[in-house]
Structure 1
Amino acid sequence: MSRTSPPYRMARRADEPQLLPFIGPPSGHIFCVQRQSGPVWFAKYRTGTGRQIQKKIGPAWTRRGTPPAGYVNQAGAQRWLEATLEQIRVRTLPPLAGTPARFETAAAEWLRHIEHDRRRKPTTIRGYRMALDTHLLPRFGGLLLTEITTEEIERWVAGLDRTAATRVKLIVCLSGIYHRARRVWGITYDPVDDVQRPPLKPTYDLLVYSTDDIHRLVAAAASQRDAAIYLTAAFTGLRMGELLALEWRDVDFDRCVVRVRGSWSGTELTVPKSGKVRSVPLATQVAGALASLACDERTGLVFPGRNGHLDRRALRRRFHLAQEAAGLRRLRFHDLRHSFATTMVGHTSIVRVQEWMGHSDLHSTLRYLHYTPRSDDAHLVARAFS
């Protein structure tokens, strides 16, 4: 998102509701209007977003005694208003209930919600924004939410010339938009629930470097700093963002551990992907490489750039140049993390590898177990059948 662009799209049509910020608790009052058919009670109230709504309660009963069916006295009108305000307070009545919502407005509200209320990472927001601008808004932007059908979504998804993973991601975005619309507009119609998602074929095929390949890569690095980055990535499994956010206070040479406390997204400092701080063993080779970079004070970033954090794109370019210089096949920088995991899973427990990798569930770590069998597995099976 550029600095000059608004955080979300504003409504473009007169019948579209504007995205209003939360202002305060709901409030309102009742009043009686004299019509040709007789007096009528009305209520005028504001929701938590500040939007003003006026609704007819019913024909006014101005005589004494209990009003007959279909009529409302002043006390009954006041009770109706208080019950409505309480529904808004406890969120059983959405703040924009009854207002027609177009897909473009609902998509903007969903994006605002996950960015500002849920505080998702900037990289996640950029991915969602790209999906909206490239695929969803050009197709559904001008339609009302209630005009989009399950069949229409399925035909559109099937016609996309994209991978199954991309199509599933677009369906997830659609589902999120409709779920948010339930809370804001109170709609009960959700065509995404019945959409058939393309099957995703899991793959355990990993491209990794051997230990010798890593040493060749380090030797071909353009600078001592880049060499230390490649070695640290391959021998600790840290993600690129975690490496760029690493500070000297996170490196404990005495206890031989590296503490992962943050991640640099390219625009701001965030928490690690798992949302938790973790510790990773500091191998002797990595400790020596980092010690050669350390100044006397050992403060600030371990791998600083000219104006703060290193540029991620520039680091990737230098990484690919080092691969060519070393005569290695071209892999992603992230594959250094896979190289660490596939190596360590053959030497220690899967639970330890999960902890070092920062995986929130064991399923993410099990993919490495299929790649690298333990060195004594064959001997163990042979002994069992002897």
Structure 2
Amino acid sequence: MSININITKRERTRRLKSGAVVVHTRYVLNFRDPRTGGRKQLFFERLKDAQRKAAEISAAVTTGTYAPERKAPTVADAVQSWLKDREGNVKERTLRGYRHVARYITDPLLIGTTKERAAYTVTGELPKGTRVEPLLGQVKIMELSTAQIRAWHKLLTQEVGAFTANRAKLYLAAALTLAAEDHHVRPPAMPANLGRGRVKEKKAILTPEQVSQLIAAGRDDAEKGIYYAFPFLMGTRPSEQLALLWEDVDFDKNVVRIRRMQEMDGSITNLTKTVAGTREIPIGPILREMLLEWRIRCPRKGNELYRVFPGLGQRQAWPKPRIGGGGPLLYANFRNRMWAPALKRLGLPPVTPHSARHCFISTLQAQGIEVGLVAKLAGHSNAVVTLGHYTQAVRGGESAIAALEQAFA
């Protein structure tokens, strides 16, 4: 018995963020499996590795000892490997979100209403008039095509919405990339121009002038001012702010270290939302002054400083101090007792605490800070997230036209 094997060379160019172009070369071993007759491709970084493997296969076929390669991984295998790889790198709440969306890649989808899908998930019984449509889970990666991915994405968009479909596509791409590294298989190209569905509305944010007003009020508010001024000066997520400990504030190096998050129940997780979320943010003069003053008044845990933003405890009749403070401050209490009253008192729009992060990022961009540095301070893994989801205009169109005319003058 003989076998026909040929080796082809493939080159792909890739443009880096710096503008440099790199060429990625791979050598592809092409042959038909003598047992199954199916077309096989194996990928190698070096030519000599491809030649060595071709010689091994030829010798095995000649001597009759050839055995097919181990079971080809499926899309479900790739997704499970990716989820396992994420364990320990992201907080458990984020991982649960990954697992939930991953079901729309691997598990069969009930074609019906949202309520019917929920009932099917709980009971396992198929509601009358519905059907179950298989998705990509059992498809082998080597047999997966771009057309299949496009059809799958279209089905998800129709049945569960564009947002979920796009998240699932993002996770599928990550899982296939990891599978390519681990199993030396070449996944198909992800389809382009799928459309983004309904355009997500930009979060309302305060103008720089309104933020200046809020921070000025915060500097005069010795009890609660630091709570609502801090996120505008640091760009933190509410869960990062409420989890901050005094040991994370380094006045010698003049930085705040973000390395944990607070859960909904007030407990602290020693992980950030993503790996990039662990970061250091410089402290500006205004915030440094506010933090130093707040450190004197901040409620203790016992007799020791612990949380930077603890619960304030119960108010007593003047001039007695509050009692019972120093414990966790839940997000709902922060928003209802500190954030919203401050905005209302100053006559400012009722924006959300998370909008302070949008304002921080957008204002830095408007001030000409390069997007790579803004992404680093915000805890984004790359600038695409910063530009695509957080950056929005904080100045009027007049300033843009003035800059244009100055350039052309």
Per the normalisation by structure 2, the TM-score is 0.53
Alpha-carbon contact 1:131-1:170 (below 8 Å) kept = yes
Alpha-carbon contact 1:236-1:282 (below 8 Å) kept = no
Instruction: Report the CA distance between 1:237 and its aligned residue.
Output: 1.8
Partners of 1:165 and 1:224 in 2: how far apart?
A: 42
Partners of 1:300 and 1:268 in 2: how far apart?
A: 15
1:225-263 deviations in Å (ceiling 9; x for gaps): 6542211011222222331232224435577x4422413
1:170-221 deviations in Å (ceiling 9; x for gaps): 1222234444555666766x4x53534523499895621134367569979x
Partners of 2:231 and 2:376 in 1: how far apart?
A: 16
Q: Residue 278 of structure 1 aligns to a residue in which SS?
A: strand
In the alignment, structure 2 segments of 5+ residues that lack a partner are 1-60, 110-133, 312-324
Alpha-carbon contact 1:248-1:298 (below 8 Å) kept = no
Partners of 1:248 and 1:332 in 2: how far apart?
A: 25
Partners of 2:306 and 2:213 in 1: how far apart?
A: 27
1:150-169 deviations in Å (ceiling 9; x for gaps): 54442332132455453222
- Which residue in 2 is equivalent to 1:262? 259
Q: For residues 181 and 217 of structure 1, do their structure 2 counterparts lie closer, same or farther at Cα, with a shift above 3 Å needed? A: same
Alpha-carbon contact 1:240-1:334 (below 8 Å) kept = yes
Task: Determine whether 1:207 maps to 2:230.
Answer: no
- Which residue in 2 is equivalent to 1:7? none
Instruction: Report the CA distance between 1:124 and its aligned residue.
Output: 3.5
Partner amino acid, structure 2, of 1:158 = K
Instruction: Say what the alpha-carbon RMSD is for the aligned residues.
Output: 5.0
Q: For residues 206 and 381 of structure 1, do their structure 2 counterparts lie closer, same or farther at Cα, with a shift above 3 Å needed? A: same
Task: Determine whether 1:302 maps to 2:308.
Answer: yes
Partners of 2:339 and 2:162 in 1: how far apart?
A: 28
Q: For residues 100 and 372 of structure 1, do their structure 2 counterparts lie closer, same or farther at Cα, with a shift above 3 Å needed? A: same
Q: Residue 336 of structure 1 aligns to a residue in which SS?
A: helix
- Which residue in 1 is equivalent to 2:138? 144
Q: Residue 372 of structure 1 aligns to a residue in which SS?
A: coil
Task: Determine whether 1:115 maps to 2:87.
Answer: yes
Partners of 1:142 and 1:228 in 2: how far apart?
A: 50
Aligned-pair identity (%): 21
Alpha-carbon contact 1:100-1:144 (below 8 Å) kept = no
Equivalent runs, 1:1-386 vs 2, <5 Å: 98-99=70-71, 104-115=76-87, 119-133=89-103, 136-139=106-109, 140=134, 144-146=138-140, 150-159=146-155, 160-161=157-158, 164-181=162-179, 190=187, 193-196=189-192, 198-200=194-196, 207-210=204-207, 211-212=209-210, 215=213, 227-252=225-250, 257-264=254-261, 266=263, 268-271=269-272, 274=276, 277-284=279-286, 287-288=289-290, 291-292=293-294, 294=296, 295=298, 299-304=305-310, 309-312=328-331, 314-316=333-335, 321-322=340-341, 325-326=344-345, 328-346=348-366, 349-350=369-370, 356-358=377-379, 368=391, 371-372=394-395
Partner amino acid, structure 1, of 2:154 = A
Partners of 1:356 and 1:101 in 2: how far apart?
A: 39
Partners of 1:131 and 1:317 in 2: how far apart?
A: 31
Task: Pick which of 173-182 and 369-378 moved more.
Answer: 369-378
Instruction: Report the CA distance between 1:318 and its aligned residue.
Output: 5.1
Alpha-carbon contact 2:277-2:378 (below 8 Å) kept = no
Q: For residues 310 and 370 of structure 1, do their structure 2 counterparts lie closer, same or farther at Cα, with a shift above 3 Å needed? A: same
Instruction: Report the CA distance between 1:270 and its aligned residue.
Output: 1.8
Q: For residues 378 and 283 of structure 1, do their structure 2 counterparts lie closer, same or farther at Cα, with a shift above 3 Å needed? A: farther
Q: For residues 358 and 120 of structure 1, do their structure 2 counterparts lie closer, same or farther at Cα, with a shift above 3 Å needed? A: closer
Partners of 1:126 and 1:385 in 2: how far apart?
A: 53
Partners of 1:380 and 1:106 in 2: how far apart?
A: 50
Instruction: Report the CA distance between 1:289 and its aligned residue.
Output: 6.1
Partner amino acid, structure 2, of 1:238 = T
Alpha-carbon contact 1:235-1:286 (below 8 Å) kept = no
1:101-149 deviations in Å (ceiling 9; x for gaps): 6655553333112225xx2343432221110245642334795223866
Larger Rg: 1
Q: Residue 256 of structure 2 aligns to a residue in which SS?
A: strand
- Which residue in 2 is equivalent to 1:25? none
Instruction: Report the CA distance between 1:303 and its aligned residue.
Output: 1.5
Partners of 2:336 and 2:190 in 1: how far apart?
A: 44
Alpha-carbon contact 1:234-1:339 (below 8 Å) kept = yes
Q: Residue 304 of structure 1 aligns to a residue in which SS?
A: coil
Q: For residues 150 and 227 of structure 1, do their structure 2 counterparts lie closer, same or farther at Cα, with a shift above 3 Å needed? A: same
Partners of 1:381 and 1:104 in 2: how far apart?
A: 52
Partner amino acid, structure 1, of 2:355 = D
Alpha-carbon contact 1:342-1:372 (below 8 Å) kept = no
Per the normalisation by structure 1, the TM-score is 0.55
Partners of 1:216 and 1:325 in 2: how far apart?
A: 11
Task: Pick which of 229-238 and 371-380 moved more.
Answer: 371-380
Partners of 2:234 and 2:147 in 1: how far apart?
A: 48
Q: For residues 284 and 254 of structure 1, do their structure 2 counterparts lie closer, same or farther at Cα, with a shift above 3 Å needed? A: farther
Partners of 1:313 and 1:213 in 2: how far apart?
A: 22
Partner amino acid, structure 2, of 1:107 = V
Q: Residue 259 of structure 1 aligns to a residue in which SS?
A: strand
Partners of 2:399 and 2:136 in 1: how far apart?
A: 62
